[in-house]
Structure formats: structure tokens, C-alpha cells
Structure 1
Amino acid sequence: MYQALRPSRSEFLPLRHLRYHLRHWGTPRPGVAPLLLVHGWMDVSASFQFMVDALREERWIVAPDWRGYGLTEGPPTDNHWFPDYLADLDHIVDHVAGGQAIDLVGHSMGGNVAMMYAGVRPDRVRRLVNLEGFGMPATRPAQAPERYAQWMDQLKALQRGELAMGTYDDASGVAGRLMKTNPRLDRDKAEWLARHWAAPRADGRWAILGDAAHKVVNAQLYRVEEAQAVFQRIRAPLLAVESSDKHFDVWWKGRYTLAEYHERLQAVAEVRIAQVDNAGHMLHHDQPAVLAALIEDFLV
């Protein structure tokens, strides 16, 4: 099994009526901004371990498990709202950095949260890194009735247990599931990550550490104009990192393209786009050393 070179330590923070889990590497250094890493949908903070191990320099790094993921409690709800991630992050930044600006890295959904936060709180972010946080296809107001109906239908499906998270016989079964999703993930890393991505239940089966309510669609449509207005307020230099695997056609089937994403990024004043070769969406698993070098060089 993979052996972490820089083991993390846990902190549990009372935050907005929840018990939030923060994973720490390193210790604060005078004059060096804290580095916050925020994970994506159906992921956990430990997912960044391989990238942290590949960094050349020791620094203070903090990564939360979002609400309802990993070791952070889920609120008593049957669906989750995107603005809550912004508010949670705002409280975490206050706790970690006080009045100091942070360096912020977000992957996938976490990349979308990081982009929005950097525009809403532009004075709190010194450097911004977006790892495949592409946003969503543009929508039209006419889609709203169908979206609300879909949301209500999925709430009922959740109540009937139809959106329940998968369970596995043991941790190796979880590792196999991770490797099926990402064929580039080595067995040793998958076995290590499985023990952070899932945990044994009372009956001995291993369950994914993610609230099934995260599977319920957002009731509100994604509004590109609103996101663009936020992006225009970003003052931090942005590094937008993409993998060499072009999954837009698979994900969106022409409803949203990489060119559209790049056009949206033009709303940010200072942008650099980089590509990581031989990597898929989980590029922090596929090429952790390459990604670590990109990020370190950018954060100088």
C-alpha cells in the first residue's frame, strides 16, 4: 500500500452547526500564505495526499472535507446548495488565515467553488488555481419548470433509497471501484485512498463517505452571466489546469465545449492555462509530481 511521505493531522472545527474536518500538512511559516486545497464532488480531502507528497518545499497546507463528505458531518437535509460551500469556505479562511490572504487550489466542483469565492472575496485570495473546474453548460429560463420537477422527483427517489451510496465487501472492493473509475490509478494508491474514501459500517460492509443527498440535482439553473460577473471581480492571478484527456464531448455531448470554457475565463484579468499530459480528470492522482511542480512554480 502507498506510504504517505508527509502524513497529515486532523482538526475538527465547529462551523455553521456542523463538525467540520480539516486536514493539515506542515506548520505556519511567517510571510508564507496558507495553501488551501478544496476537493471535488464525491471526493475527500485525503485525495490530495499524492500531490502534497510531491511538493518540493514544506509549507502549511489545509484541506477540508466539504459538508457531507469524508469526516465532516452532513446537515439534516435531503439536498445541498452550492452557496453553502462558499459560506463554509469563508469561515474556514477566517479560521486558518485571519486577515491574511490565502493561496487557493480547487479541483472539479472545488475549482468552481474556488473561482466563485475568489470573485466574491477578492481580497482574501493571493493566488488561485483551478483544476478542471469547468462550470456548467449555459441554461435558458425556459428550462426552469423541468429542472424544478426533476429536483422534486429526485427528492422522492432519495427518500425511497434509490440514490443510496454503494457499499463494498471490504476496502479492496472500494479500491477496485476507484480503479474502475480511473484506470490510471495504481493499486497501491487506490488501496490507500479507499481507506479515506470509505469506512466500515456496523455490518462490516464498507460504505462511501459521501451523503447521498449530494446526488440530488440543484433546483436552480446554472446562470453563466452571474458567474461571469463574479469572475470579473477576481484580482488574484489564475492558473487554470486541464488534463490531456478531452472529456467535454463525453460529459456534455456538444452542449458545452472547452472553447466556451476558455471564453468564460477571459473575464478574469490575469489567466494562465496549462495542460497535464497523460492524465484524466483526477489529474492529482494521475500526475501528482507534474501538477505539484506546476502549482509550486505558480505560487512563488
Structure 2
Amino acid sequence: MAVKGMLSELKLPVPWGHIAAKVWGSQQALPVLCLHGWLDNASSFDRLIPLLPKDFCYVAMDFGGHGLSSHHSPGLPYYQESFVSEIRRVVGALKWKHFSILGHSFGGAVGGMFSSIFPEMVNKLILLDTWPFPLDPKGIECVPTYRRGAIEHLLQVEASQKPRQVVSPEEMLQRFMKNNSHVNEESARLLLQRGTTKVATGLTLNRDRRIALPEHSMDFVSREQFMNFTKQLQARVLLIKAMQGYFNVRREDDTNKNIITFVTDTLKLILKERYQYIQVPGCHYVHLNQPENVAGIISAFLQSKETIPHHM
């Protein structure tokens, strides 16, 4: 399926292979880096970007181990900091000094962390149904359990050496939709186009099998750390919350809204007029299922003239 306005595909070299990306618009225009969610890929933005202002260059990258990007080197896990580092490699290759970030779900958390570590580089940070830094409602004390699970999963995958499973396109679609209840069929087909490879007898998933549960990779922070990371941000921040989206990254108690209250209160307290919060109807993948619900809000935010002075 061709996407209107897409200029090119990029393959940016990294020590373990390449990072793949899709580009919309002129690479001389104002840059926006688009970061997909957990186990998704750059096609997450295929239906949104054509609705956004044409005077920007949108680059949607596949994180390592996702989409068409190379898998990380053998023996290495996937941690959030690895993906933050990938952003720095990508913008370095593109020679971007200053840019904006549009991040969905896990991509927003990675983009938020990048914006705190490299604050002088990020003009605007747009968060789609996500927080800039991941909080766990069970508290920071759960992190050792998550880290243990990550290591044990990595060792288990290495020991299994099973061949990649091949399934029919229809079975792949049904499995994907079962595991992603917020994705409609059209959106699922888009993500699978980039997320699978055709072989003689069907389809195989492209993603690295070392990538499993999000809590294996997320760098969860305490509430105190959340506040400290927020204080480092120089960007203007727009948080778009889907009304039927997720409140809890682990989804076990998704009616608990204490986290979103803490996040929005903290961002408003620290960022003041640099922070904007908007709720929209839709589910966690509203930007893909119903992009018209968010396109106008994102467009206005990108085109707003207020800029944050960069500290040299």
C-alpha cells in the first residue's frame, strides 16, 4: 500500500547493522522524529503523517529488533537506554542539531528520556497516550523482578534455537489482533506489512524474539526521579491522552488513574506554560485507527511559534 507524500526509505548504518526509517517531506524542512510503540514499527504513523503540516520533515524510525531494522548483536538484551542511544545515532547520522519528537506509547517514554538527557536538542515533545518517563503503579521495588525476568527470557531464547514460526497471512492477522485489542483490522494490516516477511509457505514475524514483555526493557523510575527528569526538559510538551487508552503500562489494573493524575500534575507544576494536556476520544492506537482525532491538535502544536531558548 503506497502512502501519499512518502519520500523515501532510509537505512542508517549502526555497529550491529542498520536502523530503518521512513521519510515524509523534504529533508531540508523542520525535522520531527516519530517513535513507535512496543512491538510496533514505523508504519504506526502511516495514517497520521499525511494529515500533518507539509512544511516539516517526518522521519519514523524502526527501533532495533523491530520492523526492518537490524536485530541487536547476539547475547545483548534490549533495554530502554539502548533505544535512547539509537535516537542519538539516528539524529547524528541525519545531522540534526534541533528537532521535535512525536512518540506513541513506549516510543514516547524513550523520546521523553532522550529529551531529558539531551534537552538542548529537542524543541517539542508530543506524547501519544503515554508518559515521558515510565512509572509502575506497583512501585520501583518491582524492578529487580523485572530485570530477573529479562535475563531469564534472554537465556531461554538463546537456548531454544527454534526455527521461526511460519503462519498464513490470515492466521498472522488474527493472532496480531488478539494480542493487540486496541488495533482495528486496517491498522493491524498496516503494521504487519512492515512487521513480517513473506516466505514460501506464509509469513514470519520480523521482530527479535529476545523482545518480549515491556517491563523487561523499561527503565522504570520513582516519582522523585520522574520529577527530577522533568526538571531537565527544555522542550514544550504536549500530552494527548486517549479516553479509552491505557492508564497503566502493565495493564493489570487499568482503571487506576492515580498515575495520570500524578503525571499531569507534575508536568504542569514544573513545566508551567510549556505543558499542554488534551484528552481525545479513542483507544490506545487512536493516532492509527482515527488519526483525524489527533491530527489537528498535533498540527497546531507543531506550528505554534513559541520556541524554547537553547542553552549552549
* TM-score normalised by length of structure 2: 0.82
Runs of 4+ aligned structure 1 residues displaced above 6 Å come to 162-166
**2:262 matches 1:260:** yes
Determine the C-alpha separation between the residues in 1 that align with 2:217 and 2:53. 43
One-letter code aligned to 1:72: S
Distance verdict in 2 for CA 1:151–1:191, change over 3 Å: closer
| Residue pair 2:6, 2:25 contacting (<8 A) in 1 also | no
Determine the C-alpha separation between the residues in 2 that align with 1:28 and 1:221. 32
Deviation by residue 1:13-32 (Cα, 9 ceiling, x = unmatched): 11243311121111134xx4
Distance verdict in 2 for CA 1:143–1:299, change over 3 Å: closer
Uncovered stretches (5+) of structure 2, i.e. residues with no partner: 304-312
Deviation at 1:120, TM superposition (A): 1.1
Partner of 1:10: 9
Distance verdict in 2 for CA 1:183–1:115, change over 3 Å: closer
1:1-300 correspondence runs (5 A): 3-29=2-28, 32-75=29-72, 76-77=74-75, 79-99=77-97, 101-134=98-131, 135-137=134-136, 142-143=141-142, 145-159=144-158, 161=160, 167-170=166-169, 172-180=170-178, 181-182=180-181, 185-187=184-186, 189-201=187-199, 203-215=200-212, 217-218=215-216, 222-224=220-222, 225-248=224-247, 251-253=251-253, 254=256, 257-266=259-268, 267-269=270-272, 270-277=274-281, 279-300=282-303
Q: Aligned-pair RMSD on alpha carbons? A: 2.9
Determine the C-alpha separation between the residues in 2 that align with 1:157 and 1:231. 37
Identity %: 19
Determine the C-alpha separation between the residues in 1 that align with 2:171 and 2:192. 9
Range that drifts further, 53-62 or 64-73 = 53-62
Deviation at 1:166, TM superposition (A): 6.4
Range that drifts further, 131-140 or 284-293 = 131-140
Distance verdict in 2 for CA 1:4–1:152, change over 3 Å: closer
One-letter code aligned to 1:19: H
One-letter code aligned to 1:235: Q
One-letter code aligned to 1:210: R
One-letter code aligned to 1:39: H
For residue 6 of structure 2, give the secondary structure of its aligned residue in structure 1: coil
For residue 234 of structure 2, give the secondary structure of its aligned residue in structure 1: coil
Determine the C-alpha separation between the residues in 1 that align with 2:285 and 2:164. 20
One-letter code aligned to 2:6: P
Distance verdict in 2 for CA 1:11–1:143, change over 3 Å: closer
Uncovered stretches (5+) of structure 1, i.e. residues with no partner: none
| Residue pair 1:182, 1:282 contacting (<8 A) in 2 also | no
